[in-house]
Amino acid sequence: MRFALFILLLAAALSGQAATSTVEVPLKVDLQHLKSVVALALDLDADGQGELVADACNRIELADPTLGAGEQALELSLAVTMHTGATAFGRCTGPRPIEARFHVRLEPGVDSAGRAVIFEPVGAEIRRADGSAGFLARAASQLADRLIVPRLAAIEIDVSESLFAIDDLIMEFMPVSDSRASPLAERARLSGIEMAADGLVAALAVTLQALPAVAVSPEAPLDDVEFAQWQRIEDELDGFLTAVIVHLADDVQTRDLQLDLLAVLIDSRHRIAEALREDTETDPVEALFLEAWAALRPLLEQLDALDVGDDVDLRLAGFLAAGDALTAVQALGPEYGLEVSRDGLRRLARMLLAEQAPVSFTPLPLETDPRLQRLLGLYGVPPRLPTAARSHWLDWLIPLAHAGDDSPAEALRGLVPRLAYLDDYLDLVARLLAVEIESHLGENSRLGAEHRRLFDPLVRATAWKETCWRHYVGRADEPQVIRSPVGAIGMMQIMGRVWRGVYDVERLERDVAYNVAAGIEILEHYLVDYAIRRREHEQPGGLDNLVRATYAAYNGGPSHLARYRRDDTATSLRAIDREFWNHYQQMKAEQWPDVASCYSVGSGN
């Protein structure tokens, strides 16, 4: 049975002026960790071999340990070679060594302090290869009882470090107030143990104190100071998720799981960027944190079954339990006062990253990060030599056919489209798109022939839907790089906040060719790593689905991949996807946009 999140909310009881509630969340100890604990207790080496010595004539050679999870206990089996005898005339005398297997059940429990998992060895026995007790089994059993059983009985998995860390974390997320001396009515403790198919699950309980009941009044709008404060905490949340997810993804060898982890990061960055522009009367950080945790939690559960790093100190298990505890607190309701803080995020990160956790997640770094580029499979684009800008905007009134000696990117620098030269302008953009598409497909592409024919119109339609093939807007003599309300930049509307670490954010603005190349690379990433990998083309609609899904992800993040076919998609998003699809069909047929969809005669645009 796979380990699943459970949250047990016990009945609230009055305590003085404030109510208390106890939440229980799971702390998973997987079989791999348990095997390491047993091997350490028996002094086994890396090959699972060891020797326990009572005296010169009595010893046990150990090998081939197996450990499994039964319904109520761990089942341990060891190959043993039993040497029993006594000293006579200065030498050991006794029967020949007996080769057999030692079997024992380890029943888990909790120590009296509720800080450690302990085990009681039950039913220890020696069996020959044929399963029989055999001759001299009593002497062998006595030796095993003397040398093996006490070591197993002394096993203790101390989780106090995780428990103390969760206490401290709750103190950060549920701060002390004038009406509540401490949010903790009782410290975190282990309250029980259950076996699972791949290990054991300890129930971690913590009793919390609610804020005294007060009359509920409408929430006042955030003032300027409060607004700036939650924006800073959103930056911390962005940095926290980046550090945690990149750390985990870098340890995972499974590409599917790697990409799914990274999708949570990109989606969260999208949501944070959107929240920074939303008109809200409440702090959105708590919702953003819980939304990200809900997406991350099932993936972290998969990590339990993998050999991810060196988890001998149960860091991952403690991190999971801590996040679950915060989710459980939030489920209790606003009277428990959960607040996401910068210090709380840092403390939570340290539970997983330990000394690798940065002192602060802000200010957000904007330089490219080779590790993030490698994990995403996005390596940016080759550097281009800087080119001189045209001397004056009036130069553009010279027929643009004379710009043929320049690269399209050079010709487009600082150029705002106008009806007087719109056809020439659009021809320049079409040439730029063709150059960048050809360059990408020729050097870096992972697309097969079947999908390449979809790609050219996909890129052209995306650029048209995003900006009507514009990189600059405004007055011709004072061009401004086009920018969306959520900070998307340039012709391909690359969100610097979302793609920081992957692309040079400043260059996305100043270099139209770089902006286009980045958009092309992102589109292929979504097409190959998400739309094709998740088999959108096997849904009704066939290969066309890949185009629809890719643009939906490009527009909203990986979680939007299937929105084009879902019944619950918002009307506004349906309209966006429908408009894009119309552009795609136009580009597929003619490789040229429907100019009237963006530029009206006489508008001056």
15-27 pLDDT, tens digit per residue, is 345 688 999 999 9
Q: How far apart are CA 483 and CA 509, in angstroms?
A: 9
Average pLDDT value over all residues in the chain: 86
In a domain, 588, yes or no: yes
Q: How far apart are CA 590 and CA 602, in angstroms?
A: 25
pLDDT attached to residue 308: 54
In a domain, 446, yes or no: yes
In a domain, 351, yes or no: no
| pLDDT-wise least confident of 5-19, 411-425, 435-449, 469-483 | 5-19
- Our count of domains for the chain comes to 1
Q: How far apart are CA 98 and CA 76, in angstroms?
A: 19
Closest CA to 491 of 467, 518, 475: 467
pLDDT attached to residue 3: 36
Which two structure tokens, joined as six digits, stand for 311?
């988890």
Q: Which residue has the higher pLDDT, 28 or 445?
A: 28
User: Predicted confidence band at 443 (pLDDT cuts at 50, 70, 90)?
Assistant: low
| pLDDT-wise least confident of 44-48, 307-311, 415-419, 555-559 | 307-311
User: Given a cut of 70, is residue 417 above it in pLDDT?
Assistant: yes
Which two structure tokens, joined as six digits, stand for 135?
């001759």
Contact, 106 vs 74, CB < 8 A? yes
pLDDT attached to residue 90: 79
130-171 pLDDT, tens digit per residue, is 766 655 567 788 899 999 999 999 999 999 999 999 999 999
In a domain, 487, yes or no: yes
In a domain, 92, yes or no: no
| DSSP 8-state secondary structure symbol assigned to residue 188 | E
In a domain, 225, yes or no: no
In a domain, 524, yes or no: yes
309-341 pLDDT, tens digit per residue, is 545 568 889 999 999 999 999 998 888 888 888
pTM: predicted TM-score of the whole model, two decimal places: 0.86
| pLDDT-wise least confident of 224-238, 367-381, 438-452 | 224-238
What is the rounded average pLDDT of the residues 341-367? 90
What is the rounded average pLDDT of the residues 245-270? 95
pLDDT attached to residue 210: 86
User: Given a cut of 70, is residue 420 above it in pLDDT?
Assistant: yes
- Measured over the CA atoms of residue 217, residue 220, residue 225 and residue 226, the dihedral's sign is positive
User: Predicted confidence band at 570 (pLDDT cuts at 50, 70, 90)?
Assistant: very high
168-182 pLDDT, tens digit per residue, is 999 999 877 766 788
In a domain, 340, yes or no: no
Q: Supply the CATH number for residue 527's domain.
A: 1.10.530
Q: How far apart are CA 328 and CA 169, in angstroms?
A: 13
Where in the sequence is the domain holding 477, given as residue range(s)?
393-597
Which two structure tokens, joined as six digits, stand for 352?
């997983």
- Give the three-state DSSP class for 57: coil
User: Given a cut of 60, is residue 307 above it in pLDDT?
Assistant: no
453-473 pLDDT, tens digit per residue, is 999 999 999 999 999 999 999
User: Given a cut of 60, is residue 118 above it in pLDDT?
Assistant: yes
What is the rounded average pLDDT of the residues 501-514? 96
What is the rounded average pLDDT of the residues 46-61? 94
193-238 pLDDT, tens digit per residue, is 999 988 999 999 999 988 876 544 555 555 666 666 767 888 999 9
